[in-house]
Structure 1
Amino acid sequence: MPQMAPLNWVTLLAYFIIIFFMFNILNYFIFLYSPMKPLIKVNKNKVYWKW
């Protein structure tokens, strides 16, 4: 039935759009960034003066 072809295309389009969004959402939330180490080194050598 050729009259049903547009309905089939619309359902396939919705199906693939849903899969596309699910794939992107899962990739966004599954990927974990490693925490950044501080680049500035703090000098802890303190000099105490005796007067």
Structure 2
Amino acid sequence: MPQMSPMMWTLLFVFFISLFLLFNILNYFNFLPEFFSSKTSQPLVKNHSLNWKW
């Protein structure tokens, strides 16, 4: 079984690194946070007041 040349290992490394970066960049820009997508003026944090009776 022939061995790969060092140039082919480098090309394979560059290929996988570029795929990894492309995947991460596309996922980063594809993410849409809730406060940008919601058109209503509802508060993001909900306060629940509890009446404690000791």
TM-score band, normalised by the shorter chain? 0.5 to 0.7
Alpha-carbon RMSD across the aligned residues, in angstroms, is: 2.5
Structure 1: give runs of 5+ residues left out of the alignment.
Answer: 41-51
Question: Which stretches of structure 1, 4 residues or more, deviate above 4 A after TM superposition?
Answer: none
Higher relative contact order at CA 8 Å, sep ≥6: structure 1 or structure 2?
2
Query: Among the aligned pairs, what percent are the same residue?
Result: 46
Aligned residues: 39
TM-score by length of 2: 0.58
Larger C-alpha radius of gyration, 1 or 2?
A: 1
Cα deviation, residue 5, structure 1: 1.1
TM-score (norm 1): 0.61
